[in-house]
Amino acid sequence: MPDADPQLRDADRRRPLFRPSHTTLLRVALAGLGLFFGAGATVMFAYYHSSWWHEVGIRRDQPVLFSHRHHAGELGIDCRYCHATVETSAFASMPSTHTCLTCHSQIFTDTPMLQPVIASAARDEPLRWTRVNALPDHVYFDHSIHVAKGVGCTTCHGEIGAMPLTAKGEPLTMRWCLDCHRDPAPNLRPRAEIFAPTWTPPADQAARGRQLAAQLHVHTTPLTSCSTCHH
């Protein structure tokens, strides 16, 4: 190829395009870029695995300041009094306004805290609760079979009997579900303890869980198939 620019001086031709300082600059920039993306990825990873992302422990605004600690923990009202279909149906069900009024037509009727409930009954308009535990739409979860096979309320919903305002107790991610579906024994309890508002596994849970799994016919074979939860 002939010389492109005959005007170009010889001195310019001999001068290097990049000086040594450019090398340093490049190294710093590369390291900086790596650090930037690395830090970014770390932050995102940490965020994605944090309870903040999974909303664990985060209370939601509700129309009524309802306390599970008071009703379930202190008064000892059974879970099934309000969540009546938890043993028979996929959905545990939310109490109707009239369920609240079984007691509250008699007690604390004039407290401001209860006014939304009274108003709901008076106007025949349902209360609109904000969901705390929500699964994606492509997940088909059934409460009744979990309760029947020895999985207690607090295993998934946290120490509900200690919550003044309700928050999500567990991340409810697919990995979290599968941990139990692969090895349910650590979470199984006897029939009498299913609806306990607070529960800590006893010291011999490993042996007891295995025994319960056999007794309740908990087969793990179908539990990890995709179509068990997704169809």
Partner 1 sequence: MPPENPIGPHEFPAGASEWPAGLSRRQFIELMAASLALAGLGACNRPPDKTIVPYVTPPDRDLVDGALYYATALPWEGYARGVLALSRSGRPTKIEGNPAHPDSLGATDALTQASVLSLYDPDRSRTPRRGGQPVAWSAFEDAWLARHRELLAQRGAGFALLTEPTTSLTELRGIHALLDRFPAAHWYQHTPLARYDRDGMQDDYDFVRADIVLALDTDFLLSHPSSLRYTRAFASRRRLERGRVNANRLYVIEPSLTITGSMADHRLPASPARMRALLTALTDLIEGKEAAVKLAENERRVLATLARDLREKAPRVVCLASPHGDPALHAWAAATNARLGAAGVTHHALPAVRSDGDARCAGDLAALTMAMQRGDVNTLAIVGANPAYTAPGELEFPAALKRVALSIHLGSHADETAALCAWHLPESHALESWSDLRAYDGTASIVQPLIAPMYLSKSAAEFLFFLADPPVRDGYELVRDTWRQDRADDASFDAAWSGWLRTGAIENSAAARTRPRTTTATPLLSPALDARALTVLFRPDPTIRDGRWSNNAWLQELPKPLTHLVWDNAAQISPSFAAAQHLENGYLIEVRVNGRAIAAPVWITPGHASDCLTLTLGYGRTHAGSIGNGLGYDAYRLRTHAQLWHNENAAVAKLGRQHPLVSTQTHFAMEGRDLVRVADAAHLVSFAVETPPSLYPDVAYRDYKWGMSIDLGACTGCTACVVACQAENNIPVVGRDQVARGREMHWLRVDTYYAGVAENPRVLHQPVPCMQCENAPCEIVCPVAATVHSAEGLNDMVYNRCIGTRYCSNNCPYKVRRFNFLDYRAPRDSTVHLQQNPDVTVRARGVMEKCTYCVQRIDARRIAAEKENRRVRDGEIRTACQQACPAEAIVFGDLNDPQASVVARKAEPTNYALLGELNTRPRTTYLARLVNREESA
Which residues make up the interface to partner 1 (CB under 8 A)? 55, 60, 85, 88-91, 93-99, 120-121, 124-131, 134, 137-138, 140, 142, 144-145, 148-149, 216-217, 219, 221-222, 224-228, 230-231
Nearest residue (CB) to partner 1, 41 versus 145: 145
Q: CB under 8 Å to 116, separation ≥6 — which residues?
A: 63, 64, 127
The least CB distance from residue 131 to partner 1, in Å, is: 4
CB 52 to partner 1: min, Å:
11
d(CA 179, CA 172): 11
Radius of gyration of the chain (CA): 30
Least Å distance, CB 174 to partner 1, is 10
- 157 contacts 180 by C-beta, under 8 angstroms: no
Provide the β-strand partners of residue 168. 56
Residue with Cβ nearer partner 1 (19 or 219)? 219
Task: Provide, rounded to whole angstroms, the least separation between the CB of residue 35 and partner 1.
Answer: 22
Burial of 76 (0-12, 13-18, 19+ CB in 10 A): exposed
Q: Which is nearer to partner 1, 125 or 193 (CB)?
A: 125
When the beta carbons of 85 and 205 are compared against partner 1, the nearer one is 85
Minimum CB distance to partner 1 smaller for 67 or for 96: 96
Q: What are the C-alpha distances in Å from 83 to residues 20, 107, 195?
A: 74, 21, 11
- Considering the complex, what minimum distance in angstroms separates the CB of residue 139 from partner 1? 10
